């Protein structure tokens, strides 16, 4: 089954016009060497080699920023498969759509040197016409965001069929309406982080002044919010309950925390977790009784966080 991605063609779509005319998508991230023959099938193997190279080029960057940059570079160069669909904004609110047609090639000395050939389709999607869910996903910070969860809506746009409706392809989501509401909760938390109880001690992770801690990618999915304490000594994984059974949410949070501890944490940094849910679930309480490094908050419709 083909997958779907949003790909930025330079900061604020600066190189979009060149890519449209040249029939390619591409990335930079400050790494100029040709990656031909250096793209393993698994992104963690790529990161193991290139994170040290990235940090050598940019010694002021953290391992979190390096991991994000290298992971996105691998996704553009290798992770996106031939036949996958990419949506690329042009900076005016229109997303151009392309099918990836070939493997990685290097364009030395040019903008976005790490490239993939594509076939641009006649169809384009206006941001204003998207559902809230697709609009949020395509608006995520970073060069690449996975948007396969919205495949049906995207295909309806491409087929010029009926207006999109609310869809959930996540088998752990019982109620698509609840899922959509809690996606709004995520966006609300990001916009109003400093006013929440968590914002007093933690900042959502940023790189170059941009919030990159929302939907931070890992090898088992995306962390809803990745934050760092103001004294830089603790990393915080925030997971929102999206209709999942509580014991699944606890296990998922622990997996994300394990990734952060093993792949992102600097020496001496502690990793903690937070689960935010609508109700006071007894199964959450039972699971958290033996996981003291995860806190539980519940929210009200006013979006005020209450410490559990």
Alpha carbon of 288 to those of 117, 282, 285: distances in Å?
Answer: 48, 10, 5
**Does residue 63 fall inside a structural domain?**
yes
Domain count, the chain: 2
CB 215 within 8 A of CB 140: yes
Q: Are residues 135 and 200 in the same domain?
A: no
Q: Are residues 41 and 69 in the same domain?
A: yes
Helix, strand, coil percentages for the chain (3-state, nearest 5) = 35, 25, 35
Q: Are residues 118 and 215 in the same domain?
A: no
Phi, psi (rounded to 5 degrees) for 59: -65, -15
Alpha carbon of 198 to those of 69, 184, 291: distances in Å?
Answer: 26, 18, 19
**Does residue 169 fall inside a structural domain?**
no
Q: Are residues 136 and 185 in the same domain?
A: no
Q: Are residues 151 and 183 in the same domain?
A: no
Q: Are residues 250 and 300 in the same domain?
A: yes
Q: What pLDDT, on a 0 to 100 scale, did the predictor assign at position 160?
A: 61
- As given in the structure block, the two tokens for residue 287 are 């699971």
Q: Are residues 121 and 223 in the same domain?
A: no
Last residue of a domain, one of 113, 133, 159: 159
Q: Are residues 51 and 151 in the same domain?
A: yes
Q: What pLDDT, on a 0 to 100 scale, did the predictor assign at position 59?
A: 95
Q: What pLDDT, on a 0 to 100 scale, did the predictor assign at position 161?
A: 38
Q: Are residues 21 and 129 in the same domain?
A: yes
- 195 strand-pairing partners: none
Phi, psi (rounded to 5 degrees) for 181: -60, -40
pLDDT digits (tens, 9 = 90+) for 151-174: 999 999 988 633 334 333 444 334
**Does residue 164 fall inside a structural domain?**
no
CA 224 to chain centre: 8
Residue for token pair 């109700």: 279
Q: What pLDDT, on a 0 to 100 scale, did the predictor assign at position 132?
A: 87
Q: What is the CATH number of the domain that holds 291?
A: 3.40.1350.10
CB atoms within 10 A of CB 171: 7
Q: What pLDDT, on a 0 to 100 scale, did the predictor assign at position 179?
A: 42
Q: Are residues 9 and 128 in the same domain?
A: yes
Of all residues in the chain, the percent with pLDDT exceeding 90 is 59
Find the domain containing 302 and state its range.
Answer: 176-307
**Does residue 171 fall inside a structural domain?**
no
Q: Are residues 99 and 68 in the same domain?
A: yes
Q: Are residues 139 and 282 in the same domain?
A: no
**Does residue 51 fall inside a structural domain?**
yes
pLDDT digits (tens, 9 = 90+) for 14-33: 999 999 999 999 999 999 99
Round to whole Å and give the CA distance between 27 and 73: 6
Q: What pLDDT, on a 0 to 100 scale, did the predictor assign at position 172?
A: 39
Last residue of a domain, one of 159, 187, 206: 159
**Does residue 97 fall inside a structural domain?**
yes
302-306 contacts at long range (C-beta below 8 A, 24 or more positions apart) = 303/185, 303/188, 303/189, 303/192, 305/196, 305/197, 305/198, 305/276
pLDDT digits (tens, 9 = 90+) for 246-278: 678 888 899 999 999 999 999 999 999 998 877
**Does residue 259 fall inside a structural domain?**
yes
Please state the pTM of the whole predicted model: 0.72
Cα Rg of the chain, angstroms: 20
Strands 105-106 and 94-100: unpaired
3-state secondary structure 191-252: HCHHHCCHHHCEEECEECCEECCEEEEEECEEEEEEEEECCCCEEEEEEECCCCCHHHHHHH
Round to whole Å and give the CA distance between 213 and 206: 6
Last residue of a domain, one of 112, 134, 159: 159
**Does residue 251 fall inside a structural domain?**
yes
Q: What is the CATH number of the domain that holds 109?
A: 3.10.590
Regions in the chain scoring below 70 on pLDDT? 160-184, 242-246, 280-281, 300-306, 308
Q: What pLDDT, on a 0 to 100 scale, did the predictor assign at position 305?
A: 67
Round to whole Å and give the CA distance between 114 and 38: 12
């Amino acid at each position: 089954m083909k997958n779907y991605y949003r790909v930025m063609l330079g900061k604020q779509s600066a190189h979009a016009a060149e890519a449209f005319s040249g029939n390619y998508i591409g990335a930079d991230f400050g790494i100029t060497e040709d990656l031909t023959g250096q793209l393993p099938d698994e992104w963690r193997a790529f990161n193991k080699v290139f994170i040290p190279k990235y940090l050598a080029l940019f010694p002021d960057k953290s391992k979190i920023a390096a991991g994000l940059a290298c992971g996105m570079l691998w996704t553009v160069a290798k992770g996106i498969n031939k036949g996958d669909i990419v949506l690329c904004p042009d900076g005016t609110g229109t997303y151009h759509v392309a099918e990836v047609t070939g493997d990685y090639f290097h364009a030395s000395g040019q903008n976005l040197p790490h490239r993939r050939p594509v076939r641009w389709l006649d169809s384009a999607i206006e941001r204003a016409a998207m559902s809230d869910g697709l609009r949020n996903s395509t608006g995520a910070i970073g060069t690449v965001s996975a948007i396969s969860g919205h495949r049906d809506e995207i295909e309806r746009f491409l087929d010029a069929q009926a207006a999109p409706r609310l869809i959930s392809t996540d088998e752990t989501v019982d109620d698509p309406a609840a899922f959509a509401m809690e996606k709004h909760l995520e966006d609300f938390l990001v916009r109003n982080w400093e006013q929440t109880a968590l914002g007093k001690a933690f900042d959502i992770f940023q790189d170059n002044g941009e919030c990159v801690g929302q939907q931070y990618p890992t090898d088992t999915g995306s962390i809803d919010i990745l934050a760092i304490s103001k004294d830089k000594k603790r990393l915080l994984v925030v997971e929102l309950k999206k209709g999942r059974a509580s014991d699944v949410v606890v296990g998922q949070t622990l997996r994300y925390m394990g990734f952060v501890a093993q792949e992102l944490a600097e020496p001496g940094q502690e990793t903690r977790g937070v689960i935010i849910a609508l109700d006071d679930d007894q199964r959450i309480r039972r699971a958290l009784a033996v996981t003291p490094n995860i806190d539980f908050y519940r929210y009200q419709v006013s979006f005020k966080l209450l410490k559990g």
